[in-house]
């Protein structure tokens, strides 16, 4: 089994000597499997073309995601979640890793309630982060309302600019969870500083959480050189997502609009990878929320994810 190399910077650029500047897949994929993903996605996925671009904005800046795309992303039919379950025959999907014996991560909601916190740390240039945002946004939307998403594509130097979204101006409202995010860097490279243009700086507590848990001490399959890789997500400190749940190659040659439009098609292999990951993250969220809301946490797709993750017998 070959490990996918970290996200590349523009040709000739040096790797920065600071943390959280790499991308990493959560699972281990053979190059043969990656090739299969590309072939099958190119040959079998037929989705209506509704426009859109997967090219990074060379000038930077924020571009709000369209209402139509956000609606497709945040209102996936229940029938699709249940039909897919954890079935992704083309792209391997890695579920969140359970984290035992650690203090719970909580935060105050807008109403003042103390709720489990979901903390995401990533960057716009990172293709693994780009792939991971799709199922994470979908899973979060089953527990609350995410607003302010922006269009974003990862650096074109790796996986040809994976189409996705950015959390940089997003807000989340939920009576079950608190979501906090850091997009550390943009997808624009500054040759003067030999680095990506910085966006958001984590608080001291967020940085400490990232530095402590995004390491080989806690993440199964990590070696010391993987420490500080992104994306990193703490699910209430009871589960970790360290690296992308599936390879960004799954999204190759598709626009943001095409991927979103396909989310209503349970037999679409791209949709199957995204929804499998979303169901698995939902199963982890349900553990944090004490199985609420019931219509989500007791749905057949989420129950399948719970069983596959060993959360129920």
The string of pLDDT tens digits covering residues 264-299 is 999 999 999 999 999 999 999 999 999 999 999 999
Q: Is 9 part of a structural domain of the chain? A: no
Identify the band that residue 60 occupies on the pLDDT scale cut at 50, 70 and 90. Answer: low
Tokens of 49: 């073309």
Q: Is 12 part of a structural domain of the chain? A: no
**What does the DSSP 8-state code read for residue 143?**
T
Instruction: Compute the distance between CA of residue 81 and CA of residue 60 in angstroms, rounded to an integer.
Output: 35
User: On the CB side of 144, how many CA atoms lie within 13 Å of its CA?
Assistant: 23
Q: Where on the phi/psi map is residue 290: left (φ > 0), alpha (ψ -120 to 50), or beta?
A: left
Mean pLDDT value across residues 72-78 = 98
Q: Is 249 part of a structural domain of the chain? A: yes
Whether the full predicted model's pTM is greater than 0.75, yes or no, is: yes
Mean pLDDT value across residues 241-251 = 97
Domain hosting residue 122, numbered range: 22-308
Instruction: Compute the distance between CA of residue 129 and CA of residue 123 in angstroms, rounded to an integer.
Output: 7
Distances (CA, A) of 160 to 59, 165, 211: 17, 15, 29
- Say how many domains are in the chain: 1
| Pair 305, 83: CB distance under 8 Å | no
∠ CA 298-310-142, rounded to 5°? 35
Q: Is 101 part of a structural domain of the chain? A: yes
Q: Is 234 part of a structural domain of the chain? A: yes
| Maximum alpha-carbon separation in the chain | 56
Q: Is 156 part of a structural domain of the chain? A: yes
pLDDT of residue 152 exceeding 70: yes
Q: Is 15 part of a structural domain of the chain? A: no
User: On the CB side of 124, how many CA atoms lie within 13 Å of its CA?
Assistant: 31
Average pLDDT over the chain, rounded to an integer: 85
Q: Where on the phi/psi map is residue 92: left (φ > 0), alpha (ψ -120 to 50), or beta?
A: beta
Instruction: Compute the distance between CA of residue 28 and CA of residue 50 in angstroms, rounded to an integer.
Output: 33
Instruction: Compute the distance between CA of residue 176 and CA of residue 132 in angstroms, rounded to an integer.
Output: 21
Residue 313 has what pLDDT? 82
Q: Cα–chain-centroid distance for residue 208?
A: 21
- Tell me whether strands 144-147 and 171-174 are parallel, antiparallel or unpaired: antiparallel
Identify the band that residue 156 occupies on the pLDDT scale cut at 50, 70 and 90. Answer: confident
Q: Is 6 part of a structural domain of the chain? A: no
pLDDT tens digits along 83-141: 999 999 999 999 999 999 999 999 999 999 999 999 999 999 999 999 999 999 999 99
Instruction: Compute the distance between CA of residue 311 and CA of residue 10 in angstroms, rounded to an integer.
Output: 42
- Portion of the chain with pLDDT greater than 90, in percent: 79
């Amino acid at each position: 089994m070959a490990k996918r190399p970290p996200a590349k910077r523009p040709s000739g650029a040096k790797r920065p000597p600071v943390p959280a500047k790499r991308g990493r897949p959560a699972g281990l994929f053979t190059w043969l499997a990656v090739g299969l993903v590309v072939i099958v996605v190119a040959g079998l996925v037929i989705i209506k073309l509704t426009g859109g671009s997967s090219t990074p904005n060379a000038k930077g800046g924020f571009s709000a995601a369209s209402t139509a795309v956000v609606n497709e992303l945040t209102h996936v039919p229940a029938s699709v979640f249940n039909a897919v379950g954890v079935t992704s025959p083309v792209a391997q999907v890695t579920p969140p890793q359970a984290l035992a014996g650690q203090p719970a991560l909580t935060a105050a909601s807008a109403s003042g309630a103390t709720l489990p916190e979901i903390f995401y740390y990533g960057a716009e240039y990172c293709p693994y982060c780009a792939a991971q945002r799709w199922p994470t946004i979908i899973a979060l939307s089953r527990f609350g309302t995410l607003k302010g998403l922006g269009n974003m594509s990862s650096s074109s130097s790796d996986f040809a600019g994976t189409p996705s979204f950015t959390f940089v101006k997003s807000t989340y409202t939920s009576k079950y969870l608190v979501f906090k995010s850091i997009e550390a860097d943009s997808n624009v490279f500054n040759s003067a500083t030999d680095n990506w243009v910085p966006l958001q700086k984590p608080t001291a507590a967020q940085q400490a959480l990232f530095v402590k848990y995004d390491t080989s001490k806690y993440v199964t399959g990590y070696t010391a050189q993987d420490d500080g890789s992104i994306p990193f997500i703490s699910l209430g400190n009871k589960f970790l997502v360290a690296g992308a749940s599936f390879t960004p190659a799954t999204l190759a040659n598709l626009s943001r609009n095409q991927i979103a439009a396909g989310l209503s098609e349970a037999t679409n292999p791209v949709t199957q990878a995204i929804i499998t990951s979303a169901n698995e993250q939902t199963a982890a969220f349900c553990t944090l929320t004490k199985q609420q809301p019931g219509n989500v946490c007791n749905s057949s797709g989420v129950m399948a994810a719970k069983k596959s993750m060993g959360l129920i017998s």
